[in-house]
Amino acid sequence: MVAYLAQQYLDDSEKLFSGRIAVTCDGFRISYGELVRSSNRLANCLIRNGIHRQDRVALCLGRSINSIIAVAGILKADAVYVPVDSKWPVARLAKIIDDCRPSALICDGGTGEQALQAVSKKEGFPKILLMDDRMKAPSFSKDSLICREEIEDQDSDCPRYGNIDADMAYILYTSGSAGSPKGVMISHLNITNYIEWAVDRFQITKEDRVLSTAPFHFDMSTFDIYCSFKSGAALCVASESERLFPGKLLDLIEREEITVWKGVSSLLMYMAQGASLGRRKLPTLKRILFGGESLPTKHLIEWMNAYPEKLFYNVYGPTEATGISTCYPVEEIPKDPLVRIPIGRACRNTEVFLLKEDGSLAGVGEAGELYVRGSGLSRGYWNDREKTEKAFITNPLTKTPGDRVYRTGDLALQRKDGNYEFLGRKDDQVKYLGYRIELLEIENAILSVEEVKDAAVTLIPGEKIPVPEIVALTVLKNQGNPGEILAELRNKLPRYMLPQKILRVTRIPRTDRGKIDRQALPTILSKVEKDPMQS
């Protein structure tokens, strides 16, 4: 039977590989048979406690095997999982709870307090399922608290599925304007369309061991979880400490004999800076996918020099298109750290194209906004028709009703060989002295300098004159000098793109998705001890 629901991948693999390891985390392991039985019990518990088809269930768990059990159990109950992070501010959690109005919330002893604070004052208090013993229940509790003992008492038979592939599987909340998170609705069809291609493209089999470093509220986790379920591979979930420390992550890759890793570019960048590449052989690792944000070319060069026998892929795709929309296999080590790494060509059953500001198709070598079309497209944003209609529009090339495309807000160009290059965000394009400037282009030039570990560029009002200033925040190696950086930039950028100030900071603020947190840059600027270098 062809899987049309995401959880059917798990059911099918359990029939073939019941005794094989399905998930590992922090020294614990669970087989496919155990995972299916545990998720069936959770699903039956949810159903018994009034969870209906397409009800939302908030998922607030640490990085553990329980998280994977919960994802599968929610889907098996025909419900929709909404992953949230207990480390988020309570106000943000409360906004998401207000928006998606979950019928249940699943947490554990380590995450319960924060999660429950976010729901404690809401009307229609949801059922609380604790994936721990009652003795580990948070101090705040309600009569609706359901603990592990009750979950484990449920029937382990698989419930009958009522969903179809057009129904929602999960909602992922991404940053929105004015601080309001946007809930991206992803269907079972979106997932299966993506995973069928990914497992085939990267040749993932039951012999593979897939590393999971992405937060579960990040779309990269879709690849990790469902490629493993589909192929019968082992999913190796990195613990929080392993995600944060490159040395520990390299230990995990060696210890668990990881073969496939899809990692956020910023994590690969930090690992390259740790000076451990090459000294750690990572003999089993075969395929490394990176995305989420541009990986500075100099760091890809470091990775490929250290591991010339491994396969590297630059992947691109917005959350609103489920996972990967374009893919570029990097077949040769780049010779110039200033040259952009292409994001490649559209994946199977996906179409991408570029439109210029006048709405016409961009030609080869011309910049334009990137549009995505295909079965991977989300139906839109939960509970927000206005934002949905603005971002998901009728295909301007066909004008056919129902033919939807997603406006990514990303700028790109197509090369002569057909591959696309990512240029930056449309909203990160600034106008300076009459020139249109991509901040990412300046950042890439700065990151190509040997002394620079990380960088972010922004445009701020001038201090003494009404002309704005280009300011670069940099994290430098050892005693690197901003003046030396400026001297190198003069050979790489036109004068009008040179930063007026290069400031040394201890870190660049980034979101948990690895992207530069540009909303936090003004705060960093206001606190940093300025060391400006005038151009």
Give pLDDT, residue 534: 40
**pLDDT tens digits for 401-422?**
999 999 999 999 999 999 999 9
Measured CA to CA, the distance from residue 62 to residue 239 in angstroms comes to 9
Domains 6-187 and 258-424 share a fold: yes
In the prediction, which pLDDT does 535 show?
39
Domain layout of the chain by residue ranges: 6-187, 258-424, 436-527
Please tell me the distance from the alpha carbon of residue 421 to that of residue 14, in angstroms, as a whole number.
41
Report the pLDDT value the prediction gives residue 533, as an integer from 0 to 100: 45
**Lowest mean pLDDT: which of 144-148, 231-235, 338-342?**
144-148
The residue to which tokens 């990514």 are assigned: 408
CB 361 within 8 A of CB 352: no
Q: Does residue 178 or residue 101 have the better pLDDT?
A: 101
Give the best-scoring range by mean pLDDT among 88-92, 207-211, 245-249.
207-211
Candidates 350, 296, 354; CA nearest to 326 is: 350
- Give me the pLDDT at residue 73, please: 98
The secondary structure element, H or E, covering residue 199 is helix 188-201
Instruction: Give the span between the Cα atoms of 255 and 358, in whole angstroms.
Output: 54
Confidence (pLDDT) at 518: 82
Assign a CATH topology to domain 6-187. Answer: Rossmann fold (3.40.50)
pLDDT (tens digit per residue) in 278-332: 788 899 999 999 998 889 899 999 999 999 999 999 999 999 999 999 999 999 9
Q: Looking at per-residue confidence, does 274 or 440 come out higher?
A: 440
Q: Judge whether residue 100 has pLDDT over 50.
A: yes
Q: Give the CATH superfamily of 258-424.
A: ANL, N-terminal domain (3.40.50.12780)
Angle in degrees, 0-180, between the axes of helices 482-489 and 439-447, rounded to the nearest 10:
110
The Cα–Cα gap between 86 and 329 comes to 36
In the three-class reduction of DSSP (H, G, I as helix; E, B as strand; rest coil), residue 77 is classed as coil
Contact criterion met (CB below 8 Å) for 383 and 99 = yes
CB 46 within 8 A of CB 226: no
d(CA 209, CA 259): 5
Q: Which pLDDT value is given to residue 25?
A: 97
| Residue 257, both tokens | 């004999």
HEC profile for 105-151? EEECCCCHHHHHHHHCCCCCCCEEEECCCHHHCCCCCCCCEECHHHH
Mean pLDDT for the chain?
A: 89
Tens-place pLDDT, residues 390-405 = 999 999 999 999 999 9
Provide the 8-state DSSP code for 312. E
If you average pLDDT over residues 472-488, what whole number do you get?
83
Confidence check: pLDDT of 256 > 90 = yes
Q: What is the pLDDT of residues 21-58, one digit of tens each?
A: 999 999 999 999 999 999 999 999 999 999 999 999 99
Nearest one of 171, 173, 174, 175 to 185, comparing CA atoms: 171
**pLDDT tens digits, one per residue of 324-366:** 999 999 999 999 998 999 999 999 999 999 999 999 999 999 9
- Are 184 and 378 a contacting pair, CB within 8 Å? yes
For residue 229, the SS3 value is: helix
Higher pLDDT, 62 or 127: 62
Please list the residues that pair with 264 across neighbouring strands.
291
pLDDT higher for 10 or 488?
A: 10
Per-residue CA distances from 227 to 76, 328, 471, 508 (Å): 18, 19, 42, 32
d(CA 178, CA 330): 38
Residue 438 has pLDDT above 80, yes or no: no
- Tell which wins on pLDDT, 508 or 223: 223
- Which CATH number applies to 436-527? 3.30.300.30
Identify the pLDDT of residue 178. Answer: 46
**Identity of the residue numbered 189:** L
102: pLDDT strictly greater than 50: yes
pLDDT surpassing 50 at residue 90: yes
> For residues 106 and 131, which has the higher predicted lDDT (pLDDT)?
106
For residue 222, what is the enclosing H or E element?
Answer: helix 220-231
Q: What is the C-alpha to C-alpha distance for residues 211 and 224, in angstroms, rounded to an integer?
A: 7
What whole-number distance in Å separates Cα of residue 253 and Cα of residue 267? 14
Q: What spatial distance separates the first Cα and last Cα of the chain, rounded to whole Å?
A: 66
Q: What does the pLDDT read at residue 195?
A: 98
pLDDT at 396: 95
> What is the structure's pLDDT at 464?
56
> Measuring CA to CA, how many Å separate 128 from each of 58, 146, 330?
10, 6, 46
pLDDT at 522: 80
CA distances from residue 196 to 230, 406, 452 in whole angstroms, order as listed: 8, 21, 40
Instruction: Pick the more confident residue, 400 or 534.
Output: 400
Contact 404, 358 (CB under 8 A): no
pLDDT at 271 over 50: yes
